[in-house]
Amino acid sequence: MTNDSELSGKHNLLTPFDYTLTVLGGKWKMKIMYQIACQKVLRYGELKRSILGITHKVLSSQLKELEESGIIKRVEYSQTPLKVEYSLTPKGKTLMPILEDMCKWGLQYLPDEQRIINNIRNE
Amino acid sequence: MTNDSELSGKHNLLTPFDYTLTVLGGKWKMKIMYQIACQKVLRYGELKRSILGITHKVLSSQLKELEESGIIKRVEYSQTPLKVEYSLTPKGKTLMPILEDMCKWGLQYLPDEQRIINNIRNE
DNA sequence: CCGCATCCAATTTGATACTG
DNA sequence: CAGTATCAAATTGGATGCGG
């Protein structure tokens, strides 16, 4: 670790851009947010099934970090069996335009050979 | 590897959103792009000095990937000592609005305690 | 100066089992 | 059902040296 945290001490100070990267960073956070946003509310298991390839451990740790960043809200219903629902917070919703722009950009630039969904209503 | 690539075969097919994540993904690519965009053109060494904490190995591998994705352009001048300049391609420039929005979002939501630059022309 | 290759350490991830 | 803990496996990261 030879980076910023050395310069800025224990409370690691960040530039605004780095803060956003911290909140959204990693391989899965944006995909998780995207899924939650699409469905408004999702239970843990539904979320897991909707994101191909993510593992139990990774999903739960990333959900926890997103919650700590104030991006998603976790509501636990004390039933048996347990039920937990995730949704975006207002703060989280303010990030959606960025994710949508990323999606639009991908639509424009994704090479056809790699496209997985190209036959939806092409007439 | 229990993910998409299994489902989609060797040419790993992607959704548009995943494509964007692939292009921009990782800890450093967006920061690299951001630096290049700010200066229009940067030599390798300048770039390295401008990004705190990045190592030689990581910077060069990420630059290569960005080049392969068509986001940055690499121009090599056959001098001794060697000189290489990096700049954004037109495709790369189309991503800048997204990076700028991320920066703006960070400005709004970065908690004051973590802010590293908060005294620039506050009157 | 730039960037690839190597070697080894550190971090992340996956599979599995366990708790409330 | 949701989440944590553990441990091995895989991936990434840093330091260094070589060659164009």
Q: Is the CB of A82 under 7 A from strand D?
A: yes
In the block, residue with structure tokens 């703006």: B104
Nearest to A27 by CA among B3, B67, B110: B3
Position A118 pLDDT exceeds 70: no
Predicted pLDDT of residue A7: 40
Domains contained in chain A, CATH given? 19-121 (1.10.10.10)
Q: Which of residues 23-62 of A touch strand D (CB under 7 A)?
A: 43-45, 56-57, 60-61
* pLDDT at residue A12, as a whole number: 61
**Is pLDDT at A11 greater than 50 in this prediction?**
no
Say yes or no for a CB contact (<8 Å) between B116 and A15: yes
A6 pLDDT higher than 60: no
Contacts across the A-B interface (CB distance below 8 Å): 129
Torsion of CA B24, B59, A111, B8, to 10 degrees: -80
Å separating the CA of residue B85 from the C1' of nucleotide D18: 23
pTM for this structure?
Answer: 0.84
Task: List strand residue ranges (DSSP E) for A1-123, in order.
Answer: 41-43, 72-77, 83-88
- Which positions of chain B have pLDDT values less than 70? 1-12, 116-123
pLDDT of residue A70: 95
List bases in chain D with any atom under 7 Å of a protein Cβ: 1-6, 11, 13-17, 20
> Which residues lie below 8 Å from residue B12, measured CB to CB, with a gap of 6+?
A114, B4, B5
Task: Give the number of other CB atoms < 10 A from CB of residue B57.
Answer: 8
Separation of alpha carbons B50 and B6, rounded Å = 39
Interchain contact, A97 vs B98, CB within 8 Å: no
Separation between Cα atoms, residue A24 and residue A21, nearest integer Å: 5
Is the CB of A83 less than 7 A from some atom of nucleic acid strand D?
A: yes
Amino acid at A16: P
Q: pLDDT by residue (tens digit) across A58-116?
A: 999 999 999 999 999 999 998 888 999 999 999 999 999 999 999 999 999 987 777 76
* Cα–Cα distance for residue pair A39/A45, rounded to 1 Å: 13
List of long-range contacts for B45-54, beta carbons under 8 Å, 24+ apart: B47/B86, B52/A3, B52/A4, B52/A7, B53/A2, B53/A3, B53/A4, B54/B28
Copy the structure tokens of residue B1: 């590897």
